[in-house]
Structure 1
Amino acid sequence: MLSRRSLLSTIAATTVATILPARAWEDDISAEARPALADTPRLIVGGGPDSLPGQVAPILATALARGLSTLTPISTHYDLGRDGVTAANLFDTQSPEADGNTAILAPGAALIASLAGDARVHFDYSRWAALIMARRPVVTLAKAELHRSLRSRLSGMFHDRPVRLAVSHPTGVELSSLLGLSLLGLHPLPVPGYAGKAEALEALKSGQVDAVQLTPGPGDDLSADIASAPEGIKPIFFSGPTIAGVPSFDATYAMARGHAPSGALYQAWGAVSNAAASALILALPMLTPPLAIARWRHAAQEAVTEAALKTWNDSQHLTITAGADAAPLLNQLEPELTSLLALRRWINNNQPRWRQGQETRPT
């Protein structure tokens, strides 16, 4: 059954596809005959110049401008917030008319904040029309003791200390690992203050935490990081693009529980984990006129093939989906209402415990 969010996204994508096929803009009108946008296109960036969106914004804006045939460069507005929430709020308030001149470049962290019910969130990403989805793998690493004793702990034979998970903050990007470990019955305890990979791995090696969440960055080789991890540290599950030798969450769950995962919280984990794996989202307001969506879609498809942008994406280990194919990936980040409510109830029930340094309750 489609959620309201998925239904709206499907209707929008179908409308655009019906009125203008994916290549209609470039097939029907030559490059020389394409009129430029009436107003200067604007890109709202979910982060400062040093953030992941901020680093790629100038490269992406230049590439998009060529596809849009703009008379002036695309202007960029940077958000100095840490997770893109401020930019997403601005996007929803600054582009209510959806005239096709304003797009957002947001990190997945902004969507996780929305899913978690963060009080700062005043935007609704179900009203976005995705143009580009840039994804990268997310891996949860933990001591092998978790693997060896998982069945026993689930059956109540083990009552040792909870699994200490390094997090930036409990409802940040590590929410994927926190909820996943909880669904596995491992009673994770979020240990905040670990915003970087190096700090988290050092804490894991020194025994200050038992689990970390990793994503690859420039110059990283995630498979090599996993292979070179200290003895006793193994991958528990991944989300996003697959990583060789790392089990999926479903496979780990089936090993632990003896059956496939299901239920509202599991469905919520799917949305959260996909958001964690979404490094960047380029989107327009969903009610943007179909011609404008088709124009931006074409520009996005052309942009991701340009050498400068492709080189940057490769350096960040990003898997890129552009144009109409990006819409279904954004839909995966939109859970059913029942699942969303279950997630927020789980968070609300556990936040007082986390503040007191207590382990997570499963429901």
Structure 2
Amino acid sequence: MTISKFTRRAIVGMIAAAGIAAPAAAEIDYTGKTIEWVIPFSEGGGSAKWANFYAPLLSEALPGNPTIVVKFMPGAGSTKGANWFQNQEYKDGTTVFSSSGSTQFPYLLGDPRVRYEYADWHPVLASGTGGVAYLNPEDGAKFDGSANNLKDTDFIYGSQGATRLDLVPLLAWEMLGMNVEPVFGVKGRSDGRLMFERGEANIDYQTSSAYLGASVGLVEAGTAVPMMTWGALDDDGNIVRDPTFPDIPSFKEVCEATDGCETSGESWEAWKAFFIAGFPAQKLLFLPKGAPQEAIDTWVTALEEVKARPDFAEISAKRLGIYPQMTGETAQLALDSATKVPDDAKAFVVNWLKEAYGVELK
């Protein structure tokens, strides 16, 4: 099985179209209002850092300069917050919501806890991201660009759940022949990082914004050693090095250097399908169902104004990494790509979840 040319072209097309012209400004005024931006994770993770980056910029750009407060609603691997948002109706535009790959994967896999429908929401922003896996210093000293010297080590990893975005690192580590035991139930990736910092875990992964915001400090202090990124997609849909971390090898490179790991076949195609669903459009900002077009246009116009700032490329690269920031119609295309995977990739992952973790999705 292979990722279709349509999927590859759609991803590339979204990136190329990220500069699409903004619609005309709408007659909506948020003067004196407070907008609640709800994140379905705990504070301190990549989604929190992403929202906290955009919130003050949007406060300046939205008409009336509203106060934007980021609120956290963790639980059930983000499905609690998403289910709550599904029940919200547009009133005055003061409630918005963000999902991530950890919200998209349960939807893709038919998790019975999912009570939300992406088609009911209105995406105004989609941000690509990457991810970095890292080791403690003892095991990092054994890493030589392959996982060959890590196969006899027992690893502990703080995980939100195998049906969440953690699916990508867990499957990658298994393909490398590593013995990684997940401790399920952490509310966000920041909690997994804290386990690593306390020595309760000896392997971790963070999305790019969280890695840049917190984990880089661990590397600089010598308490963490980068292992690999998940990579990025080039124009032909191939996995290449992540441009945010050009000095860290991609999973594809580590797999090619590791005995028994293959970058072709069912495992690879399934991993790549979920990587594409989870990272090129990893974080999305939504208005609730029932939002009028003028409200959608207002947010898209504000986001385009933010992206047009002369300092945006520099400040976003430092806080979020070097990834596309897609608005309006391109955000909708990104959502479409993020909520679809080939049937054979889904079937492989559903079977793997059952065999590896006893997770049955009905």
With normalisation by structure 2, the TM-score equals: 0.64
Counterpart secondary structure, 1:190 = strand
Letter in 2 for 1:91: F
Please tell me whether Structure 1 or Structure 2 has the larger radius of gyration of its CA atoms: 1
Distance, in Å, in 2 between the alignment partners of 1:23 and 1:340 is 35
Distance, in Å, in 1 between the alignment partners of 2:217 and 2:52 is 31
- In structure 1, the residue matched to 2:236 is none
User: 1:301 pairs with 280, 301, 304, which one?
Assistant: 304
Letter in 1 for 2:159: S
Instruction: Return 5+ residue gaps in structure 1 as ranges.
Output: 154-159, 354-363
User: 1:166 pairs with 151, 157, 177, which one?
Assistant: 157
User: 1:212 pairs with 192, 200, 204, which one?
Assistant: 204
Distance, in Å, in 1 between the alignment partners of 2:43 and 2:312 is 17
Instruction: Return 5+ residue gaps in structure 2 as ranges.
Output: 233-241
- In structure 2, the residue matched to 1:271 is 274
- Displacement of 1:226 in angstroms is 4.5
Q: CA RMSD in A?
A: 5.0
- In structure 2, the residue matched to 1:105 is 98
What aligned pairs does 1:1-363 form with structure 2 within 5 A after superposition? Answer: 22-23=20-21, 25-26=23-24, 34-36=26-28, 45-47=38-40, 50=43, 60=54, 63-64=57-58, 69=63, 73=66, 78=71, 80-82=73-75, 83-95=77-89, 103-115=96-108, 117-125=110-118, 128-142=121-135, 143=139, 145=142, 150=147, 161=152, 163-171=154-162, 172-192=164-184, 195-203=191-199, 209-215=201-207, 217=210, 220=213, 225-226=218-219, 229=222, 235-239=227-231, 241-242=242-243, 243-256=245-258, 257=260, 260-263=263-266, 266-272=269-275, 275=278, 280-284=283-287, 293-305=296-308, 316-318=319-321, 319=323, 321-323=325-327, 324-334=329-339, 335-352=341-358
Letter in 2 for 1:349: E
Letter in 2 for 1:178: L
> Identity over the aligned pairs, expressed in percent?
17
Distance, in Å, in 2 between the alignment partners of 1:234 and 1:24 is 39
Distance, in Å, in 2 between the alignment partners of 1:197 and 1:75 is 27
Structure 1 residues 315-324 or 213-222, which shifts more?
213-222
Alpha-carbon displacement from aligned partner over 1:71-102 (angstroms, at most 9, x marks no partner): x948879452245423322333334x899886
Distance, in Å, in 2 between the alignment partners of 1:285 and 1:197 is 31
Counterpart secondary structure, 2:195 = helix
Judged with a 3 Å threshold, the aligned counterparts in structure 2 of structure 1 residues 306 and 237 are, in CA distance, closer, same or farther, namely closer
Letter in 2 for 1:164: F
Distance, in Å, in 2 between the alignment partners of 1:189 and 1:273 is 25
Equivalent pair of 1:237/1:252 in contact (CA under 8 Å): no
The number of aligned residues is: 323
- In structure 2, the residue matched to 1:358 is none
Judged with a 3 Å threshold, the aligned counterparts in structure 2 of structure 1 residues 347 and 120 are, in CA distance, closer, same or farther, namely same
